[in-house]
Amino acid sequence: MNQTNLAINELNLAYLTGQQSPEKLILSLIKEAKSQQAVWIHLLDEEALKPYFEGLKSKSPQTHPLYGVPFAIKDNIDLAGVPTTAACAEFSYVPEKSAFVVEQLIEAGAIPIGKTNLDQFATGLVGTRSPFGETPNAFNSDYISGGSSSGSAVATALGTVSFALGTDTAGSGRVPACFNNLVGLKPSKGLLSTSGVVPACRSLDCVSIFALTATDANRVFQVAAQYDGEDCYSRDNPVANQKPVLAKDSFTFAVPLAEQLEFFGDDFYQAEFEKAVAQLEAMGGEKKALDYSPMLQAAKLLYEGPWVAERYIATQDIIENKPEAMLDVTRTIISSGNKPLATDCFSALYKLQALKKQADLLVEQVDFLVSPTAGRHYTRKEIKDNPIGNNSNLGYYTNFMNLLDFSAIAVPTGFTANKMPFGITLFSFAMQDQSLLAYADKIMQNNQLTLGATQWPFKAETLQTDVNSGFIDLAVCGAHLSGMALNWQLQERDALLLEKTRTARAYQMYSVPGQVERPALIRSDAEKQAFEVEVWRIPTQHFASFVEGIAAPLGIGKVELEDGRFVSGFIAESTAQTGKNISEFGSWRKYVASN
């Protein structure tokens, strides 16, 4: 196994100190990769790598965040001049242009070393559905590696690349991360362009990132999350989600109700999940058990509903004209996609919208939600004996994420009694990627696990956080709260809700009459109270126009939160005390409801 630690910060140090050179390292990695069973579909040779090495001559580790960093590409993502197969030789084509996301990474200095194996047409969570062979788990070849992004995960876990691109429509960027002791970031839909990606379900597809640490995943995410005008599903990344943020010392998280947890007979995984939840509580987390029914019902729609039709569209030419080119299991799953009617599609969309409303109410209650990434780790024999049923079980906690437009990250938390990796998934609203990455890093710092399947130690590091990075965190306590009369003023300025919390017990609240009744929060020496607030992150370019609309006696100053932090927020002049004292309610929302 390669002896150079490929965690990005460690690799940068090796380059800066002259201990290693990109060309020497990457050629040795490719030599090592050739011996890895069913991990790679195509490896670049020295001749194909020359343009990438040449491109590094005008770059440096100080100027390019991914300088000389080796990475792998799932073989349903285009790399110019290299065949894209989607694990189906008859489908193969040679693109002239790399996928948009690959171009961003190469421009930042990263070096692609090859295309990795996958469940054919990205249909599966097992890593055994490929004519190029079953990709074995990085820890024990009797177990599945997880799919569909099997090769990308194992290449990263084995220390052959620093990171890898996968795709994640139903869990393919998270399940393999769990099974191979990796971080698997499924970004918010549309933040990583899918231009140059063979679609599975085009309206749901995400390009995902496998990395050895959460900070490495963050480095790659910051480079890759760029708007692509050629991708009709591309979305702008809000300023507040572009830079790392700090995880709170005290936080809230939600787990499913006990009767909703499924481990499919795997006592090892059940024990590890209980341990992981206890770890979160010991780290300062407050656990809530919430009814995950909306998520679990939405998950069933992915394969039992009309979205399979999208897989049929993506493979229509092959499945109609060369069906024998597909594996039996892949063809069986996708062939049902030509059966749903338009009425089925709309019925499912209506149901999904209702479930989204219910699910969002749950997500609003906590900083993030938690589940096992997978309920059970199957052996390759178990998958062979029940290929569709056991694969479906693997999607129990993952299939709903993109349907409900959530961001998610799989993070390793420990090893089972039989020495196999286990991990949990953190998820929240779209555009909360940086927050989830921060908590994933907090978990990794707590657990200090070795990286992937290597013996490299975890080393904590601090990325540059949100200080002076283009946005302001603003505490609101009244009409700007979620669902209240003036919340639209934040929404139209691309503000993001960071957290729901309370002030320190240092204030009183008064009602200020006007066209829109407003609360006045005044610091007090007597009868001190704490009040409900929300912290919204607003881009600095929109902050002036927001403040301009604030009428006396209100203004912006510093508000103390219950954990001792001071953030910008609404305060009031002492003249507001002529209004009605409503401190007894402890919340503007409760006061309004009382009227």
State the catalytic residues.
74, 148, 172
- Look at residue 370 and give its three-state secondary structure: strand
Q: Which residues partner with 500 through β-bridges? A: 534
Spatial separation of the C-alpha atoms in residues 13 and 9, rounded to whole Å? 6
Cβ atoms of 535 and 499 closer than 8 Å: yes
Sign of the Cα torsion 222, 225, 227, 229 reads positive
Helices 100-107 and 214-224: crossing angle, nearest 10°? 110
- The angle at the Cα of 164, spanning 30 to 458, to the nearest 5 degrees, equals 95
Spatial separation of the C-alpha atoms in residues 92 and 198, rounded to whole Å? 11
485-505 burial string, b = 16+ CB within 10 Å, else e? Answer: eebebbeeebbbbbbbbbbbe
Spatial separation of the C-alpha atoms in residues 44 and 161, rounded to whole Å? 13
Cα distance from N-terminal residue to C-terminal residue, the chain:
69
Cβ atoms of 52 and 31 closer than 8 Å: no
Spatial separation of the C-alpha atoms in residues 489 and 542, rounded to whole Å? 10
Sign of the Cα torsion 383, 385, 388, 392 reads negative
> Which two structure tokens, joined as six digits, stand for 248?
């709170």
Residue 300 CB-density burial (10 A; 0-12 exposed, 13-18 middle, 19+ buried) = middle
Of the candidates 44, 235, 73, which has an alpha carbon nearest to the alpha carbon of residue 153? Answer: 73
Of the candidates 207, 43, 36, which has an alpha carbon nearest to the alpha carbon of residue 135? Answer: 36
Rg of the chain on CA atoms, in Å:
25
Three-class SS of 515-535: CCCEEEEEECCCCCECCEEEE
Cβ atoms of 438 and 247 closer than 8 Å: yes
183: CB partners within 8 A, 6+ apart: 177, 209, 210, 211, 212, 213, 214, 216, 217, 409, 410, 411, 412, 440, 444
- Beta strand pairing call for 406-415 and 183-186: antiparallel
Cβ atoms of 519 and 480 closer than 8 Å: no
